[in-house]
Structure 1
Amino acid sequence: MRMLVNVTCPIEPFNSMVRNGTAGEIIGRVVEDIKPESIYFTEVDGHRGAVMIVDVAEPSAIPSIAEPWFLNFEAVCEFRIAMTTEDLMKSNLTMLAEKWNGVQMN
């Protein structure tokens, strides 16, 4: 299953890692291990962050994606299911609309 992973790194320990020259090498190792479909580095609420698209074969793979960020950068990781247009088309929205349109719970 394709997932969107938002990573937010607090200022520390990241600043110290930049200063001592280890941040880039560790990020390289983490990205090489996770092998995201794509990754973009950005700002998140004033912190360093990344947005990754990863293919998660089963839920037990989630720790192997999150732990490198947790353990090395004390990061926060948020996982969201991501669909392509093709995935959305397979969901049969028309049938769901017919099934649930106007249904009210009492």
Structure 2
Amino acid sequence: MRVLLQAHLDTEKTNDIIRSGKMPQVMQEIVGAFKPESSYFTADGGVRCMFLVFDMQDSAQMPPLTEPLFERFGAEVNYTPVMNLEDVQKGLSQLSSFFS
């Protein structure tokens, strides 16, 4: 299932990682674990935020993927199922039998 992960990063914890010079390595490790089809980084609600779209094969992936975000960044994390245009079209094509 295609999932959107939104992670708001704690400012102080993130500042510590940046000051240590390890931010590029830490981000590569964490983002690399998700193998995202896309990733975006911005500020949201006044804090650093990352958005990753990736394929979650099993909900059991959540602990090993999410714990590093909690531990390293003190992140607040949300998972949301999402669709691309192909998924929406596939879903809409199944509605015809619903209305018959």
TM-score, structure 2 as length reference? 0.87
Aligned match of 1:80: 80
Aligned match of 1:61: 61
Which sits farther off after the overlay, 60-69 or 72-81? 60-69
* Ranges in structure 1 where 5+ consecutive residues have no aligned partner: 100-106
Q: Deviations over 1:48-101 (max 9, x none)?
A: 1111001000111122221121111110111000112222222223444x27xx
User: For residues 45-56 of structure 1, what are the structure 2 equivalents within 5 Å?
Assistant: 45-56=45-56
**In 2, distance between residues paired with 1:20 and 1:38?**
27
Report sequence identity in percent. Answer: 30
Aligned match of 2:39: 39
Equivalent of residue 93 in structure 1, options 92, 95, 98: 95
- Report the AA paired with residue 52 of structure 1: L
- Report the AA paired with residue 78 of structure 1: N
> Larger radius of gyration, structure 1 or 2?
1
Aligned match of 1:13: 13
TM-score, structure 1 as length reference? 0.82
Number of aligned residue pairs: 98
**Contact 1:34-1:64 within 8 A present in 2 as well:** no
